[in-house]
């Protein structure tokens, strides 16, 4: 590695910042994209919380997924690119293209710039959303990298955006990628240490639990993985020859129910978990709420589905070993407390 330069898109995001931390620790120089100079201070503040003072090892480039300006300069001189940036809103957008267009066109824009600059490999951050939706999960059969989300069925705008972006990336590599290599990481819900007030939708779920904002829990399951492990998998996919042309699910253990998540936190946090409910809402109530709440409407179609996934491929090919789900969840909660981002118990 010896100071090789890596571009991380979206360094002001939760996962982007963890990827920068992992790269700096491994001895790489990092350039990261932000949409404006005003976000540079936010990135540096998050890295400081993560224990890094990068100095000259970190530089910034200004570029937006919706425009070509700045991307040639961003990728210049880089051996690798981690394309992490992608919209992930807490609610449902008014128009699905508000998510789909930036995700797909942004990925293609980064790939073109990387190819033209002679980058060796791009690692694209996709999602389990591109693997396990639009189909009925079968109990006892976890989803793998061989699965693709079926867009002929009704899925959310976010799920559609991640699926179309990844499909578009593979199509680009096959048609016009030249010598550019591609590897893809497909994480489930990303948790782990929060580095600042601008964190992720997944970690916000933990915050809402701890703040007592959830009167009950919907009967659904989801995967858990720590951001530090997702960043580690990005680095392995970036440098390991076995990762060329492959996609890798990132999940720690079996999927968990919302009640299991709540019980884990209550058991490990003591008084700090006093506001967390473990009461499960009846499906009929969740469905009624979904009729009037656009964000809750996304949950309705997932009630009671026995979805699961496996990271056996990443473990086998790349030697990836994630920490436990419980440790990832507790690290999220403890960091929210440490940064003063949850309400104080009375």
Q: What is the chain's pLDDT, residue by residue, as a tens digit (346 residues)?
A: 568 999 999 999 999 999 999 999 999 999 999 988 999 999 999 999 999 999 999 999 999 998 999 999 999 999 999 999 976 555 556 678 888 888 999 999 999 999 999 999 999 999 999 999 998 888 789 999 999 999 998 888 889 999 999 999 999 999 999 999 999 999 999 999 999 987 778 899 899 999 998 888 888 889 999 999 999 999 999 999 999 999 999 999 999 989 999 999 999 998 888 999 998 877 655 455 444 344 444 554 565 677 899 999 999 999 999 999 999 999 999 999 999 999 875 4
Look up tokens 């701890």; give the residue: 210
Query: Measured between alpha carbons, how far is 112 from 102 in angstroms, rounded to an integer?
Result: 15
Query: Measured between alpha carbons, how far is 127 from 184 in angstroms, rounded to an integer?
Result: 9
| pLDDT on residue 288 | 58
Query: Measured between alpha carbons, how far is 18 from 32 in angstroms, rounded to an integer?
Result: 12
| pLDDT on residue 218 | 81
| pLDDT on residue 187 | 97
Q: Which positions ≥6 away from 341 have C-beta within 8 Å? A: 194, 197, 199, 207
Cα of 10 vs its chain's centroid, Å = 11
Could you give the strand order of the β-sheet that contains 247-250, starting from the edge strand earlier in sequence? 58-62, 29-34, 5-9, 80-83, 121-125, 181-187, 247-250
Q: Which positions ≥6 away from 259 have C-beta within 8 Å? A: 217, 278, 280
| pLDDT on residue 47 | 97
Q: For residue 64, tell me if it sits in a domain.
A: yes
Q: For residue 291, tell me if it sits in a domain.
A: no
Q: For residue 290, tell me if it sits in a domain.
A: no
Q: Which positions ≥6 away from 39 have C-beta within 8 Å? A: 12
Domain count, the chain: 1
Specify the CATH number for the domain of residue 136: 3.40.50.720
Residue 10: closest CA among 94, 125, 90, 93 = 125
CA atoms within 13 A on the CB side of 343: 11
Pair 272, 345: CB distance under 8 Å? yes
Query: Measured between alpha carbons, how far is 304 from 54 in angstroms, rounded to an integer?
Result: 45
Sequence-ordered alpha helix ranges (H) in the chain: 14-25, 40-49, 71-75, 97-117, 157-176, 201-210, 227-239, 258-269, 283-292, 294-300, 312-318, 325-338
Q: For residue 344, tell me if it sits in a domain.
A: no
Q: For residue 339, tell me if it sits in a domain.
A: no
Q: For residue 89, tell me if it sits in a domain.
A: yes
Pair 259, 203: CB distance under 8 Å? no
Give this prediction's pTM.
0.94
| pLDDT on residue 75 | 98
Phi, psi of 59 (to 5 degrees): -135, 165
Q: Which residues are catalytic?
A: 162
For residue 87 the two structure tokens come to: 């919209």
CA atoms within 13 A on the CB side of 128: 23
Q: For residue 105, tell me if it sits in a domain.
A: yes
Phi, psi of 173 (to 5 degrees): -60, -40
Q: Name the residue range of residue 58's domain.
A: 5-200+224-254+309-326
| pLDDT on residue 89 | 54
Q: For residue 154, tell me if it sits in a domain.
A: yes
| pLDDT on residue 294 | 46
């Amino acid at each position: 590695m010896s100071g090789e330069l890596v571009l991380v898109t979206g360094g002001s995001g939760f996962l982007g910042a963890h990827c920068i931390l992992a790269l700096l620790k491994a001895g790489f120089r990092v350039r990261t994209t932000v949409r404006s100079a005003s976000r540079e201070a936010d990135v540096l503040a998050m890295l400081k919380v993560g224990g890094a003072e990068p100095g000259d090892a970190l530089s910034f480039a200004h570029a937006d997924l919706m425009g070509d300006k700045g991307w040639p300069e961003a990728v210049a001189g880089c051996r690798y690119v981690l394309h992490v940036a992608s919209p992930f809103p807490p609610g449902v957008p008014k128009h699905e293209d508000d998510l789909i267009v930036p995700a797909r066109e942004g990925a293609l824009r980064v790939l073109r710039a990387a190819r033209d600059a002679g980058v060796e490999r791009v690692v694209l951050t996709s999602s389990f959303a591109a693997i396990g939706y639009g189909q009925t999960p079968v109990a006892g059969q976890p989803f793998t990298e061989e699965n693709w989300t079926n867009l002929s069925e009704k899925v959310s705008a976010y799920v559609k955006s991640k699926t179309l972006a990844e499909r578009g990336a593979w199509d680009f590599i096959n048609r016009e990628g030249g010598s550019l290599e591609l590897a893809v990481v497909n994480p489930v819900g990303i948790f782990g240490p929060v580095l600042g007030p601008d964190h992720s939708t997944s970690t916000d779920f933990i915050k809402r639990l701890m703040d007592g904002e959830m009167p009950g829990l919907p009967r659904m399951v989801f995967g858990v993985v720590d951001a530090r492990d997702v960043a580690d998998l990005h680095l392995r996919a970036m440098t390991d020859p076995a990762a060329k042309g492959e996609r890798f699910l990132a999940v720690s253990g079996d999927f968990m129910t919302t009640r299991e998540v709540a019980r884990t936190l209550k058991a490990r946090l003591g008084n700090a978990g006093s506001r967390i409910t473990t009461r499960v809402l009846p499906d009929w109530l969740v469905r009624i709420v979904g009729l009037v709440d656009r964000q809750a409407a996304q949950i309705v179609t997932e009630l009671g589905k026995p979805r699961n996934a496996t990271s056996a491929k990443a473990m086998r090919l790349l030697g990836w070993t994630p920490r436990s789900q419980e440790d990832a969840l507790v690290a999220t909660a403890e960091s929210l407390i440490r940064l003063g981002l949850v309400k104080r118990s009375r």
